[in-house]
Structure 1
Amino acid sequence: MKITFAFLLYLVSYCAWAQNTMEPTDYDALVIYKVTDDKGVPEQGAIVKVESILDKSLKTDTTDLEGIAEILLKKGTSHKIVVEKQALKFDFGQFDIPKQDGKLTMEENLQIQVVTNYKKIYNLKIHFAPNRAELYEAAKKEIDKLAEEMKKNPAMKIEIAGHTDNVGDANVNLQVSQKRASAIKTYLVEKGISEKRMIAKGYGKTAPVGDNNTEEGRSRNRRIEIRML
């Protein structure tokens, strides 16, 4: 496990990269926790627990798709950090919140290693008609295999990621990739998988794995990825 600390003093506003739902105050620092695995992949659904050394009060937040959790903590206090995921607990020890003037935002990178008995990412071997999101019978059979895998692993949560090549309008590609991912999620729900265990997201052409200048590369880029969360 690794932990790194960095803090920024915000006198007027915070940097453009930090689009937070919470804001620091004159009395409380905003602590942004980013939880990743040992390869730097964000860990969604990890519970970050912060316990006060002084009065044992506890604050928690659950990481989002980007592995981010946010908690407001009083300046000049000390805390213990624990991260929990899939019945595993990771203890990061004690850290201190500086007591200083101005609005303070801190970033902490927490690295965990969750061992699972299924692949981190794999591609569903299914095909769609151009600009369409209807599922063919062959596609449903492939998704049925995923449904069975999820039933065998009740802790398994996934992102269904739709991807396209770079041919055509970027906004249309984005919409089509979202519709395809959503269609797969809907089908899995019909097969008895809780929608709370799934996120459907379209990425359009933004995450190629092949060369879009070749037909072979474009074919590789037109895909549905299943990512374990």
Structure 2
Amino acid sequence: MRVILIIVLWVLLGIFYWFCKDKCCANGNGGAPVSEIEAVTPIEKRVVKKLTPLKFACSDAQPNAEPAWVAFRDSLVSNLSDDSQLQIQGLYSKDESFSGDTDLGMARAKNVLKLFENLESDRVKLSSGNKGDECLQEELNNLIAFRYLKNTKKIKEIDDRTLIYFPFNSTKQIADKEIEAYLNDVAKRVVASGEKVRLTGHTDNVDSDAFNMELGEKRATAISNYLIRRGVNPNKIMIRSKGERQPIGDNKTEEGRAKNRRTELQIVK
């Protein structure tokens, strides 16, 4: 009887052991592998601040103006000081396709300019820039950039000529104290001496060759008109344009293009 009782106890202990092994020790080193569900960190959507109320579709140069555009545009114009220029820069990505005469960025800038009312062309500078490799949906309101450029008129005398730089894409009357003072001295000299003045207009390579030839001539004419108002005989002034054909700076950089936007003044005996 005692033997039977001992056998029964051993059986019960064995059952209890296997029960604990399977249920309580499954996560131990000797336990069977347990299927686990890995915690997945949710991917947060990247939030990109909308910089302008103008939206473009990828590979499209036409802007879609949102309701806030009018107030945004008017604010840009009202904050444009007399000695500043508004730069409109169109941006594009490498994966965008475009078949226009210019790159997609410049095409976007030109189309945005059309949305401005009563903004004179000499107060605006258009440019383009690469934004990256890929056109992203969350960046479609950030494909145009606005900034103010300070007027940096300069006069530089080299050899037998003087370079007069135009800060704007201007064809209007000269309105800068530094340039006016220099031209006043030129006018006094040639009126007294009977010398002639040769004016040669130059531009950067933005836009077409024909456009730049005309622009260069208009810049030279603007200086000619000022000299005439100061008493210089129109027959003593020679005007010509070289457009973009004789750069003195690298047209691939903003600094170089600024050097190329000039009128050269020579006094001829």
Work out whether the TM-score is over 0.5: no
Q: Please identify the structure whose Cα radius of gyration is greater.
A: 2
More strand by percentage: 1
TM-score, structure 2 as length reference: 0.37
Q: Which has the higher helix share?
A: 2
Q: TM-score, normalised by structure 1?
A: 0.43
